[in-house]
A = this chain, B = another copy of it.
Amino acid sequence: MTNRSAEPARRTGDRGRYGRLSRSRVLKTAFDLVDREGLSALSMRKVAAELDVEAMSLYRYANGKDALLDGLVEVLYEHIEQELAHCAPPPATDWQAGLQRIVRATYQVALSHPQMAPLLATRILAVPMARRPQAVLRTHEQVLTLLEQSGLDRQSAVHAYRAVTAWTLGFILTDLQAMVDDPTAPEIGFRLGLQHMSAQETPALRTAAERLAEPGGTLALETGLAALLASYSPTDR
């Protein structure tokens, strides 16, 4: 509610007519809020408050909370595209390297914004493909195009596409899974809460927990990707 009449509402590209809101400002605020406090802390009212605005004002730029969540996914994929754009030149001939590049970028952006990970899983289940944000569709289009370049027939390319998508999503979720039970504990076993796990019923899992707590890493991601791709392109073996 701060009166900023000192600024005569110059219509920069990033503010609305009154020099206050804009879609990008709303999404960025929500994005930062989730990064900072987690998805469960996201509410229309809090986002609005951070913008010195009432909740209902957001509706012009994100028509309801679901639309806001989809906006967050959009931002996430825009980050992926940025990562892809400024980071590496695409080696036009090597389709497999092209796929690796996209999958790796997706993984890294997810790691940078772990609080958003649930969105990747839940929104894909909630919003039909045709309604997904453009940035999402563009990225998926690239994946599919690369696979079709690889010489696979259309049917196999679609199967491979599903495999790549499933692997990437599953790997990210598995990698980000909650392992730490008590962050304040000094010893790793207690930090993981192993004293709550029965050594009778789940001995192997208990023993493996320490190793499972470490992130999988880019290497494991790409190993699995390569294995899946190889199984779809008979030329490779």
A232 → chain B closest CB, angstroms: 8
Chain multiplicity (copies): 2
* A178→B129 contact, CB < 8 A: yes
Flag if A125 contacts B177 (CB, 8 Å): yes
Which of A179, A201, A208, A220 has the largest number of chain B CB atoms within 10 A?
Answer: A208
Contact of A130 with B192 at beta-carbon distance under 8 Å, contacts A148-B204, A166-B173 already known:
yes
Contacting residues of chain A (196-237) with chain B, CB-CB under 8 angstroms: 196-197, 201-205, 207-209, 211-212, 216, 220, 223-224, 226-228, 230-231
For the complex, is A117 an interface residue (Cβ under 8 Å from B)? yes
A205→B173 contact, CB < 8 A: no
A202 CA to B179 CA, complexed, in Å: 39
Given contacts A122-B122, A226-B231, contact A138 B201 (CB under 8 A): yes
In the complex, the answer to whether B227 meets A144 with C-beta atoms within 8 Å is no
Q: Knowing A125-B118, A130-B194, A177-B124 are in contact, say whether A212-B170 is a contact too (CB < 8 A).
A: no
CB atoms of B121 and A173 under 8 A apart: yes
A163 vs B228: C-alpha distance in the bound complex, in angstroms?
11
> With A and B bound together, what is the CA distance between A127 and B193 in angstroms?
11
Collect the chain B residues with CB atoms within 8 Å of residue A31's CB: none
User: Considering the complex, which residues of chain A in the window 159-190 have a beta carbon less than 8 Å from any beta carbon of chain B?
Assistant: 159, 161-163, 165-171, 173-181
Q: Decide if B131 touches A196 in the complex (CB within 8 Å).
A: yes
A128/B228 in contact, CB under 8 A: no
In the complex with contacts A196-B130, A204-B145, A162-B137 CB distance below 8 A: no
Q: Which residues on the B side are within 8 Å of A175 (C-beta)?
A: 162, 166
Establish whether residues A140 and B205, one from each chain, have CB atoms under 8 Å apart when the complex forms: yes
Q: In the assembled complex, which residues on chain B have CB atoms less than 8 Å from the CB atom of A6?
A: none
A107 to chain B, nearest CB (A): 11
A sample of 27 cross-chain residue pairs with beta-carbon separation below 8 angstroms, ordered by A number, consists of A121-B122, A124-B173, A124-B174, A125-B177, A125-B178, A127-B178, A128-B180, A128-B193, A129-B212, A130-B193, A130-B197, A141-B205, A154-B208, A155-B211, A158-B211, A158-B212, A162-B212, A162-B216, A162-B220, A163-B220, A166-B170, A167-B170, A167-B224, A169-B174, A224-B228, A227-B227, A227-B231
Sort A-B residue pairs by CB-CB distance and give the 10 closest, nearest first.
A170-B170, A130-B193, A121-B121, A227-B231, A166-B170, A166-B174, A128-B181, A141-B202, A166-B171, A169-B170
